[in-house]
Amino acid sequence: MKRVAIIGAGLSGLTLGHLLQDVAQITLFDKGRSPGGRLAYRRAHPYVFDHGVQFFRAKTEAFQKFLDPWVRSGVIQPWCSRFVEINQGILDHGHDWSELLPHYVGVPHMNAFPRALAKGLDIRLGTRIIEVQSMSSQWALYDDSGAECGLYDWIVYAMPVAQVIDLMNHSSRLFKQLEGRQMKPCDALMLGFEAPLVLPFDAALIKGAPISWISMNQTKPERSSACSMVVHSTNQWALEHAKFSNSEVIKILKQAASEVVGSIWEQPVYEDLQRWRYANIAPQKGQQALLDLEERVAICGDWLIQGRVEAAFQSASYLADQLIQQWA
Ligand SMILES: Cc1cc2nc3c(=O)[nH]c(=O)nc-3n(C[C@H](O)[C@H](O)[C@H](O)COP(=O)(O)OP(=O)(O)OC[C@H]3O[C@@H](n4cnc5c(N)ncnc54)[C@H](O)[C@@H]3O)c2cc1C
């Protein structure tokens, strides 16, 4: 069996590992303490926040089929949220999300889905790969302690494009195809309130403000009942304010959220901020994954398609199909 190293155990790396596990010997590496990447959550008792991905859709049959076992087991459930759009402070329109057109979330938190997907895979967590070296017909990986992490026949980068650029050998033929892909940041503010805020929505898409999204995490299935609000900045605002300190960002986003919520706003008793450097990318044209058969290198990730969980799946499953065909 071919030995394959996948660097990055977000949804694209995990999907690829899952789809290739019967045809290759797979080892995944991730610098995080838990698999899942941007499918993340933060616990600060009694509050729980999905501060990255808010929900995901399965618009294609292939993704729905892939999700089905976890939907059946309850690790993924629809979030039947009271959804509204708020434009320039005015509540535009709203509707309740239904199970017929599911907006999925991990249960009991967003990271539960990648954790379930990771079961049975060989994943080296807390391992930041900082160097990839070609050794005749194999690849050697090194982590940030200088330790060698094994020799592999194939190497797959499954991470945001800027991180691929940092790590990949610049003389690699695929390197040229990474130019001009810019992922945008997002600042995620987490607020915990002592008493419930009685709002006319569970999730709000905001327009005409520095923030693009507010969600009440406790309204997702099987969450703690403590009033936990997630506020996302727009990608553009985060880009323009990248040099602002955390406390300045918290102050501005909190003010913007309080303006949306209006007179029922209470001061939060808990606040924290996550600054996602590589959150989102506009829809892309071109191949869904990149591979070089001669160099035995491949790349997958949402950014080859668009900044969505389903895109991460599509990129990885396209790559899995290509590799399985080649190895047959
Ligand atoms: C704030 C925010 C909100 C979002 N909301 C939604 C939403 O509501 N719906 C939706 O569909 N999508 C949403 N997205 C996008 C979604 O998160 C991504 O499309 C998807 O999770 C991408 O998965 P991925 O595996 O391609 O990348 P990632 O999840 O980024 O995974 C990459 C992994 O690589 C690891 N890594 C990177 N460099 C190294 C290294 N050198 N060594 C080892 N490991 C490394 C990282 O730790 C990470 O785990 C959101 C993203 C953010 C940040």
Q: Which of 13, 273, 286 is nearest to 129 (CA)?
A: 13
Q: Tokens at residue 153, please?
A: 């026949």
313 CB near ligand 1 (under 6 Å):
no
Place of tokens 């394959």: 4
Q: Which top CATH class is 1-33+125-181+283-328?
A: alpha beta
Residue type, position 207, single letter: K
- Smallest CA-to-CA distance from 14 within 242, 229, 313, 246 is with 313
What confidence score (pLDDT) does residue 220 get?
98
Return the domain boundaries, the chain. 1-33+125-181+283-328, 46-109+184-280
Q: How far is the CA of 197 from the centre of ligand 1 (A)?
A: 30
CA torsion 97→103→108→110, rounded to 10°? -140
Handedness of CA 217, 223, 228, 233 (dihedral sign): negative
> Does the beta carbon of 16 sit less than 6 angstroms from any atom of ligand 1?
no
Question: What ipTM, to 2 d.p.?
Answer: 0.99
Q: Which atom of ligand 1 is nearest to the CA of 143?
A: 42
- By most ligand atoms within 8 Å of CB, the mutation choice from 159, 168, 215 for ligand 1 is 159
Domain 46-109+184-280 CATH assignment equals 3.40.50.300: no
Q: For every one of its 328 residues, what pLDDT tens digit does the chain have, with 9 covering 90 and above? A: 999 999 999 999 999 999 999 999 999 999 999 999 999 999 999 999 999 999 999 999 999 999 999 999 999 999 999 999 999 888 888 899 998 899 999 999 999 999 999 999 999 999 999 999 998 899 999 999 999 999 999 999 999 999 999 999 898 999 999 988 999 999 999 999 999 999 999 999 999 999 999 999 999 999 999 999 999 999 999 999 999 999 999 999 999 999 998 888 889 999 999 999 999 999 999 999 999 999 999 999 999 999 999 999 999 999 999 999 999 8
Separation of CA 12 and ligand 1 centre (Å): 8
3-state helix, strand, coil in the chain (%, to 5): 30, 35, 40
Residue to mutate (ligand 1; options 11, 12, 14, 38; most atoms within 8 A of CB): 38
Please give the number of the atom of ligand 1 that sits closest to the Cα of 29.
Answer: 43
Where b means 16+ CB within 10 Å and e means fewer, 291-325 reads beeebbbbbbbbbbbbbbbbbbbbbbbbbbebbee
Query: Which helix (DSSP H) or strand (DSSP E) does residue 318 occupy?
Result: helix 309-327
Nearest CA to ligand 1 atom 34: 8
H-helix or E-strand spanning residue 167: helix 161-167
Which residue of 53, 215, 276 sits with most ligand 1 atoms within 8 Å of its CB, as the best mutation to test the pocket?
53
How far apart are alpha carbons 328 and 315 in whole angstroms?
A: 20
What is the whole-number distance in angstroms between the Cα of residue 76 and the centre of ligand 1? 18
Query: 291: closest CA among 139, 182, 181, 177?
Result: 177
**Which atom, in ligand 1's list, is nearest to the CA of 163?**
38
Residue 89: the pLDDT is: 84
One-character DSSP codes across 109-141: STTHHHHHHHTTS-EETT--EEEEEEETTEEEE
- CA-based R_g, the chain, Å: 20
pLDDT (0 to 100) of residue 274: 98
